[in-house]
Amino acid sequence: MSLSSSNINLLLNFLNEDTCGSTSTLEQISQDFQREISKSEYLHVGNALLLLLQNRDLTPTVAQRLIIFYLFIEMYKTDQQSISLHPFAPVFLSILQTNGDQSLKSHKHFHWIISPVTRHERILVSLLIKANTNKDIIKKTPNQFLQTDFPINDDQLQKEIHQQLAEHLYQQRQQMPALVQCHIPAVINDPEINTYGYDTLIGGPNCRSANTRQTIEQLLVNNVMEQTIHPEYLRLVPPLHECTIDELVWLSPIPNLDIDTSLFTWDDSMCMSKSAYSEVRLIMDKAYQGAINLQQQQKILDDLDRDPELVHHLGLTPQKLPSLVENNPTISTSCLLKLISSSQMTDYLHTLVQMNMSLHSMEVVNRLSTSMELPRELLHLYISRCIKTCDETKDKYLQSRFVRLVSVLTQSLIRNKVIDIKDLFVEVQGFCVNFRNIKEAAALFQLLKTFDSRNDDAHDSTTLLIVNDE
C-alpha cells in the first residue's frame, strides 16, 4: 500500500533540509506527526523513513536523521514491549554499532546497515531507548541537540544496549528461514554520489534540494520502500522416465513434427457436455435473471420430480435464492422442498425470511408451510417483519395491499395450525386494530377473537372441573 500524497508532503515538510534543524523541537514534530498520521499507517510510514535513512543522498544532513530516529521510537512508544520486539529494532542495532566495529564489515544482513553514523546520532538513539530518558532532550531542536556536549561515559551505555539488543535479535533471526533474510531493498544508495561536486556545478544546493524532494515523492508514490530483491529459489526439473509397455503415451499431432496427422481422427464432441441436464442448467441460469415461460418452468419441475438430486447441480445458493423467489416462486418452492435434507437448508430458510416483503416471497412461505414443517421461530420472525413493513410503508395504496397480503397469509397459517398464535397474539391483534378499516385485517381480527373466546371457554371449563373436584 503506497502512502497518500498528504502523508508524503507531511514527511517532506518535517525533513526539509533547510528548516528541519531549527524550526521545531523534537516534541513539536512528534505532536504534529501523531495528530496527522493514524496508527494504522505507522508501519508504511516507518518503511518510507527507512528508505530515506538508507539512502544518504536523500537525507544528507544529521538533523534529518535525528528526526527520523526520534519518529521511529515515538511511533511505538506506547506499546509495553521490549525494544527487541520493535518493528525497526535492527535499525537501532545498526546505529549503535561503532564505525570501527568489525562485525559491521562482515554483517550478512547488510540491507539493515545504517552507516556512517555520528556520535550524536548514537547518543540520541541510546537515550531514547533508555527507560529514564531525559525530558529536556525532546524540548530541543535537532541543531540544539547537536550543539550539546555529552559525557564520555555515554559510550558505555551505548555498548550495553547494543549487546542486549544483538542477543535478542540473534535469537529471533535463528527462527527465520535463511531465504527470508537474504533480500535487499529495490533502491540502493550510490556510493559515488557527489564525488566530483556536480551539485555545485548544476544549480547549486537549492536545485539539489528540489530534485531530492521530487525523487522522494516518486519513490514513495510508487511504494518502492516495500519492494525488495531476493534470490529465486530454483528447483531442478525432474527427469523424464521412459514409458513402459502398459502405459499410455501422450501424442501431439503437430504438423511441424514428423508425424502423419492423417492417422488421427478428431472427436469434435470431446469436452462438450452430454448430460441430459445441460438444458435444465441453461434454463435455470435464465430463471435467476428473470421470469421464464410456462414450458421452461414445467421442464425444470418435471426433471426435479424425476431426479431430486438434480437440485444440487443447478447452481442454487442462499445468495441466489432471493432473485429466484422474485422471478419464479414456483420453481423456488420445488427446489427448497428438494433441499429439506441438505445441510444448508437452515441458511436457505434464514435467507427467505430476511427477504423484503413481496407477494412472491409470501407465496413461497405459505406453500412451504403447508408442505413441510418449518421452524416456528422463523415463521414468527417473518410475520413480525411483514407487520413492521406494513407499519413503515408510506404509500397508502401499497400499504393497504401489503396489509391484505399479510392478513391472508396469517389466517392461512393459523387455520392450518402451522403457527401458535399465542406467541404472536398481542402483535397481530395490534396490527389488526391499526388497519381495522381493511376488510382482510378485520377478518383476521374476528379469527383472533374466536381463538381468544375458545381459550376463555377452555379456561372456564378447567376451573369448573377443579371446583367440582374440591
Let me know: does 55 contact 189? Beta carbons within 8 Å. Answer: yes
The pLDDT of residue 342 is 83
Residue 462: predicted pLDDT: 35
pLDDT for res 470 = 37
Q: How many CB atoms lie within 10 A of CB 39?
A: 10
| Closest among 355, 442, 435, 446 to 399, alpha carbons compared | 435
pLDDT value of position 466: 30
Average pLDDT value for residue range 437-459: 74
Mean pLDDT of the chain: 76
* Of 142, 140, 130, residue with least CA distance to 77: 130
State which of 39-53, 163-177, 253-267 shows the largest mean pLDDT: 39-53
Reported confidence tier of residue 106, pLDDT bands at 50, 70, 90? very low
Instruction: List the beta strands (DSSP E) in 348-454.
Output: none
Decide if pLDDT at 205 tops 60. no
> According to the model, what pLDDT value does residue 468 have?
37
Instruction: Report whether pLDDT(9) > 50.
Output: yes
CA distance 361 to 327: 10
For residue 448, the model assigns a pLDDT of 81
Residue 43 has pLDDT above 50, yes or no: yes
3-class DSSP state of 411: helix
Asked whether 119 and 93 are in contact (CB, 8 A), the reply is no
Query: Is the predicted pLDDT of residue 206 greater than 60, yes or no?
Result: no
For 334, counting Cβ atoms within 10 Å of its Cβ (0-12 exposed, 13-18 middle, 19+ buried), the class is buried
Most confident of 2-6, 135-139, 252-256, 401-405: 401-405
pLDDT-derived band at 315, boundaries 50, 70, 90:
confident
Give me the phi and psi of 228, to 5 degrees please. Answer: -130, 160
What SS3 state is found at 22? coil
| pLDDT class of 56 with cuts at 50, 70, 90 | confident
Is a pLDDT exceeding 50 seen at residue 82?
yes
Q: Which three cell numbers stand for residue 375?
A: 421452524
Q: What is the pTM of this model?
A: 0.46
User: What secondary structure does DSSP assign to 113-160, as a single string?
Assistant: ---S--HHHHHHHHHHHSSS--TTGGGS-HHHHHT----TTHHHHHHH
pLDDT, average across residues 250-263: 63
Q: In the chain, pLDDT over 90 holds for what percent of residues?
A: 0
Lowest mean pLDDT among 146-155, 218-227, 247-256, 460-469: 460-469
- What would the mean pLDDT of 248-275 be, rounded to a whole number? 62
Mean pLDDT, to the nearest integer, of 258-277?
A: 61
Looking at the predicted structure, is the pLDDT value of residue 103 above 50?
Answer: no
Of the two residues 405 and 104, the one the predictor is more confident about is 405
Taking residues 165-179, report their average pLDDT: 74
Between 459 and 76, where is the model more confident? 76
